[in-house]
Chain A
Amino acid sequence: MSSPSIHPTTHHQLNKRTSFTQSVRNSLTMAYRGLLKIRRTPEQLFDVTFQPIIFTLMFTYIFGGAISGNVENYLPVIIPGILVQTVITTSIVTGVQLREDMDKGVFDRFKSLPIARIAPLAGALLADTIRYTIATVLTFTMGYIMGYQPDGGLGYVALSGLLVILCSWAISWIFAFFGVIARTASSVQGISMIILFPLTFLSNAFVPVKTMPGWLQWFVNMNPISHLVTAVRDLCNSGTFGWDLTISLIGAAVIVLIFAPLTVRSYMRQT
Chain B
Amino acid sequence: MGYEHRKKIKAEDTNWAVEAHGLVKTFGDNRAVDGVNLNVRAGSIYGVLGPNGAGKTTAIRMLATLLRPDAGSAQIFGHDVVKEPQIVRQLIGVTGQYASVDESLSATENLIIFSRLLGLGRAEARQKARELLEEFGLTEAAKRPLKHFSGGMRRRLDLAASLIARPPLIFLDEPTTGLDPRTRNQMWDTIRQLVKQGSTVLLTTQYLQEADELADRIAVIDRGRVVAEGTVDELKTSVGSSSLHLRTQHPQDIEEARQTIERVLKVESNVSSIDGKISAPITDADRVTDLLISLREANIHLAELSVQKPTLDEVFLNLTGHGLENHSKQSGEVEEAAV
Residues of A participating in the B interface, judged by any CB pair closer than 8 Å: 1-2, 4-5, 7-12, 14-18, 22, 25-26, 29-30, 32-33, 36-37, 40-41, 104-115, 119, 271
Selecting from B90-98, B228-236, B277-285, B314-322, the interface stretch reads B90-98
Question: In chain B, what residue has the closest Cβ to A44?
Answer: B104
- Of A4, A25, A104, the residue contacting B103 (CB under 8 A) is A104
How many A-B contacts are there with CB distance less than 8 Å?
123
Given known contacts A11-B2, A30-B117, what 7 new A-B pairs fall within 8 Å (CB)?
A10-B1, A12-B1, A33-B105, A104-B103, A109-B161, A112-B64, A114-B89
User: Which residues of B from 145 to 190 have beta carbons under 8 Å from A?
Assistant: 145, 161, 164-166, 190
B137 to chain A, nearest CB (A): 12
Say if the beta carbon of B293 comes within 8 Å of chain A.
no
Known: A9-B120, A108-B100. A36 touches B92 (CB 8 A): no
Which applies to chain A's interface (DSSP): helix, strand, loop or mixed? loop
Report yes or no: B67 in contact with A11, Cβ–Cβ below 8 A: no
A38 to B263, CA, bound (A): 74
B314 to chain A, nearest CB (A): 33
Report yes or no: B193 in contact with A1, Cβ–Cβ below 8 A: yes
Known: A105-B96, A109-B161, A114-B89. A8 touches B120 (CB 8 A): yes
- When distances are taken between beta carbons in the complex, the residues of chain B under 8 Å from A25 are 119
What are the interface flags for B118-142 relative to A under an 8 Å C-beta threshold, 1 for contact and 0 otherwise? 1110001000100100010000000
Known: A15-B90, A17-B86. A271 touches B197 (CB 8 A): no
Say if the beta carbon of B87 comes within 8 Å of chain A.
yes
Report yes or no: B86 in contact with A16, Cβ–Cβ below 8 A: yes
Report yes or no: A112 in contact with B104, Cβ–Cβ below 8 A: no
A9 to B104, CA, bound (A): 26
Residues of B participating in the A interface, judged by any CB pair closer than 8 Å: 1-3, 5, 64-68, 79, 84, 86-87, 89-94, 96, 98-105, 109, 113-120, 124, 128, 131, 135, 145, 161, 164-166, 190, 193-194, 197-198
- Of A1, A9, A110, A111, the residue contacting B194 (CB under 8 A) is A1
Report yes or no: B109 in contact with A14, Cβ–Cβ below 8 A: no
Report yes or no: B124 in contact with A8, Cβ–Cβ below 8 A: yes
A79 to B145, CA, bound (A): 40
A25 to B198, CA, bound (A): 30
Known: A109-B114, A271-B67. A7 touches B96 (CB 8 A): no
A201 to B117, CA, bound (A): 41
A26 to B84, CA, bound (A): 20
Report yes or no: B166 in contact with A7, Cβ–Cβ below 8 A: yes
- When distances are taken between beta carbons in the complex, the residues of chain B under 8 Å from A114 are 86-87, 89-90, 118
- When distances are taken between beta carbons in the complex, the residues of chain B under 8 Å from A10 are 1-2, 5, 165-166
15 A-B residue pairs with CB within 8 Å: A4-B166, A4-B197, A8-B124, A8-B128, A9-B164, A15-B86, A16-B86, A26-B117, A40-B105, A107-B100, A108-B100, A109-B96, A112-B65, A114-B90, A271-B67
- Of A2, A16, A108, A113, the residue contacting B114 (CB under 8 A) is A113
